[in-house]
Amino acid sequence: MSDVHPLGALVRRWSRFADLPQGDRSAILQLPFTKRSYGKDLYIVREGQETSECCLMLSGFSFRQKLLRDGSRQIISFHIASEFVDLQNGLLEVADHSVQSLYRSEVAAIPRSALTELADARPAIRRAMWVDTLIDASIFREWVVNVGRRDSRARIAHLICELIVRLEKQGLGSDDAFDFPITQEQLADATGLTAVHTNRTLQGLRREGLIELNSRSLRVLDRDGLREAGDFDELYLHQAV
Amino acid sequence: MNSSDHPLDRFIADLCGRSPLEGSDIAALKALPFRMRRVDAGTYLVREGSVPDHCAVLVEGYAFRQKVTGDGSRQILAVCVPGDAVDLQNIFLNVSDHSVQMLNKGTIADLLREPLQELVMTRPRLARALIQQTLFEASILREWVVNVGQRDARERIAHILCEFAVRLESRGLAGKDGFELPMTQEQLADAAGLTSVHVNRVLKGLEKDGLINRRRRHIHYDNWRALQDAGDFTRGYLHIPGEDLVDQAFAV
């Protein structure tokens, strides 16, 4: 059942973070949710809005972002299938940033009260949910380092390394080829670089024989070289909690 | 500290200020086994890559989270103030993904990891309050990504000063004329993704423009709104409830 149920991905995800008894697994599958589809650039969550649900990605890509008063944008994370884009809104009253669909995406919107009740009643789920938010925070720490202290080549390479590890974890991508709908402008906003600089950096990584990036598809040619270039160590992703 | 004070008082007061806890939750927290220790400036409370067996609460003094990149440069990720749990994430993560070091000398209460785990497994309300703490931390981290990613040097430093002012204020640790910032210019640089030469220039600029006054490590500001403006600072991301006391104190 869990293979066809949209929330089956959540059961699998949280099973990695805690030993979930059968009753907990069934309870997750019984969570109420609304399935929603979003086109490119549409808002899934808006900064400042009161929160009433948490959205689990079922397919596609989305990103979190904050806008500055001068209109510049910082992307603070990308999200793929089976990840929550706003689990924090299960406990925080107001969204402190926005989430946008990067490319066609589908989400399961789960009422926050249903999630918090589940966490209150079931310790193993509580633990899994907590770990999920802790990994989120760990990734943000690494992004502060990436943008604060790495040069442009390392920033871009690091970001690509992170995304391919996460995509592979979800079984998305094979033979080092990945669906990669992130534009150069979005890569720039995620790394604090200009679009021109990002373009030049990507060309450099291509020339070095590390990656091939065409419209919407990424091929990794030299994985070790890319990790080296990105100063990448996946410890912070806490894949083995 | 009075003999009736508990080392976790400030930590517990902050938890209670943000989510409803009952007397039994607080009593259970206070009954947790812990070990007190005095630590010097520079002491590592947590080391990246280590396997944690306790969670440290900062009782006195300041600490900072940091990571070092492959080429040896350091990024400071957060400044911890008295009452903060410095590695609450290690309650359920098995390897520390960053280091925590003391900024100055202070006092730590080390809570053993297993009794703390048991406590949150049996007390949902307390677990919720602690999860919220990690969510506030994550929110601050998101703002730091923005700070180093999009703001210019002057905005970055002013933003860090504003954040520090509000967080200290909420713990009753700032005077209405300013606060003690126990950070060197090099450490400020590592928090802002700048060089220390650049930070020095920015601090002088903020001083010249009348936004701050510095006396040793004391930062004084006359015009809170102007400093906020210089730092593109709005406090929403801190999720600190209640009145903006700093704003009140400086309301014209």
User: Are A72 and B150 a contacting pair at CB < 8 A?
Assistant: yes
Upper half-sphere CA count for residue A38 (Cβ side, 13 Å): 26
Query: Which residues in chain A have their CB less than 8 angstroms from residue B239's CB?
Result: 92, 96
Higher-pLDDT residue of B2 and A235 is A235
Residue A50's CB: how many other CB atoms inside 10 A? 8
Smallest CA–CA distance from B49 into chain A, residue: A235
- Predicted local confidence at residue A143, as pLDDT: 98
Residues of B in contact with A127 (CB under 8 A): 92, 121
Q: What is the ipTM of this complex?
A: 0.94
pLDDT in tens, chain B (252 residues): 455 689 999 999 999 988 889 999 999 999 999 999 999 999 999 999 999 889 999 999 999 999 999 999 999 999 999 999 998 888 899 899 999 999 999 999 999 999 999 999 999 999 999 999 999 999 999 999 999 999 999 999 999 999 999 999 988 888 877 999 889 999 999 999 999 999 999 999 999 999 999 988 899 998 899 999 999 999 999 988 765 544 444 433
CB distance A14 to A128 below 8 Å:
yes
Per CB-CB distance under 8 Å, the chain B contacts of A238 are: 93-95, 97
What's the one-letter identity of residue B218?
A: H
In angstroms, what separates the C-alpha of B13 from chain A's closest C-alpha? 19
Q: In what order do the strands lie in the sheet with B44-46?
A: B44-46, B99-102, B63-68, B74-80
Name every residue whose Cβ is closer than 8 Å to that of residue B56 and which is 6 or more positions away in sequence: B45, B46, B85, B86, B87, B100, B108, B109, B110, B111
The CA distance from A180 to A110, in Å, is 27
The backbone region for A189, taken as left when phi is positive above 0, alpha when psi lies in -120 to 50, beta otherwise, is alpha
Is the CB of residue B65 less than 8 Å away from at least one CB of chain A? yes
Give the residue from A116, A145, A158, A191 with the most B CB atoms within 10 Å of its CB, the best one to mutate. Answer: A145
- Residue A5 per-residue DSSP state: S
Q: What is the pLDDT of residue B19?
A: 84
Chain A residues in contact with B122 by the CB 8 A cut-off are: 123
pLDDT at residue A16 is higher than 60: yes
- Beta carbons of B77 and A141 less than 8 Å apart: yes
| A-B contacts (CB, under 8 Å) | 144
DSSP conformational letter for A37: E
Contact across the interface for A66 and B144, Cβ inside 8 Å:
no
Look at A231 and B70 and tell me if their CB atoms are within 8 Å. yes
- Predicted confidence at residue A1, as pLDDT, reads 45
Q: How far is B237 from chain A (nearest CA, A)?
A: 6
DSSP lists the bridge partners of residue B58 as: B108
DSSP string, chain B: --TT--TTHHHHHHHHHHS---HHHHHHHHTS-EEEEEE-TT-EEE-TT---SEEEEEEES-EEEEEE-TTS-EEEEEEE-TT-BTTGGGGT-SS-SSEEEESS-EEEEEEEHHHHHHHHHH-HHHHHHHHHHHHHHHHHHHHHHHHHHH--HHHHHHHHHHHHHHHHHHTT--BTTEEE----HHHHHHHHTS-HHHHHHHHHHHHHTTS-EEETTEEE-S-HHHHHHHTT--GGGG---S--HHHHHH--
Q: Which residues pair with B79 in a beta bridge?
A: B64
Q: Rounded to whole angstroms, how far apart are CA atoms A2 and A49?
A: 32
Q: How far is A220 from chain B (nearest CA, A)?
A: 22
Averaged confidence pLDDT in chain A: 94
Q: Which helix (H) or strand (E) holds A214?
A: strand A211-214
Separation CA B222–CA B208 (nearest Å): 13
pLDDT in tens, A19-68: 999 999 999 999 999 999 999 999 999 998 998 999 999 999 999 999 99
Q: Which of residues 108-147 of B touch A (CB under 8 A)?
A: 120-122, 124-125, 127-128, 131-132, 134-135, 137-139, 141-146
- CA distance to partner chain A, nearest, from residue B105 (Å): 25
Per-residue pLDDT at B250: 41
Structure tokens at A227: 């990790």
Neighbours of A30 (CB within 10 A): 11
Phi, psi at residue A191, to the nearest 5°? -115, 0
Res. A124: pLDDT tops 80: yes
Q: What is the pLDDT of residue B248?
A: 45
Which tens digits make up the pLDDT trace of A55-102?
999 999 999 999 999 999 999 999 999 999 999 988 888 999 999 999
Token pair belonging to A49: 């809005």
Whether B139 sits inside 8 A of A191 (CB atoms) is no
DSSP letter, residue A222: -
Interface test with B, best of A149, A159, A197, A224 (most B CBs within 10 A): A149
**Using a CB-CB distance cutoff of 8 angstroms, which residues of chain A are in contact with residue B237?**
96-97
Nearest CA distance, A196 vs chain B (angstrom):
16
Looking at residue B219, its pLDDT comes to: 94
- Three-state DSSP string of B33-61: CEEEEEECCCCEEECCCCCCCEEEEEEEC
- The pTM (predicted TM-score) of the whole model is 0.94
Greater pLDDT, B90 or A13: A13
Closest to B82 measured CA to CA, from B66, B106, B47:
B106
Specify the pLDDT at position B252: 33
- CA nearest to A144, candidates A48, A74, A229: A74
DSSP annotation of A25 reads H
pLDDT at B251: 37
Per-residue pLDDT, A127: 95
Residue A51: other Cβ atoms inside 10 A: 17
Residues of chain A neighbouring B70 (CB-CB closer than 8 A): 231
Q: Which of B73, B142, B150 sits opposite A192 (nearest CB)?
A: B150
pLDDT of A139-175, one tens digit each?
999 999 999 999 999 999 999 999 999 999 888 988 8
**Burial class of residue A144, CB neighbours in 10 A (0-12, 13-18, 19+):** buried
Tokens of B89: 């994430």
- Which chain B residues are Cβ-neighbours of A192 within 8 angstroms? 148-150
Q: Which residues of A touch B143 (CB under 8 A)?
A: 66
Name the one residue in this structure whose structure tokens are 């067996």. Answer: B53
Nearest to B139 among A96, A131, A191 (CB): A96
For B223, phi then psi, to 5°, come to: -125, 90
Rounded Cα distance, B209 and B203, in Å: 10
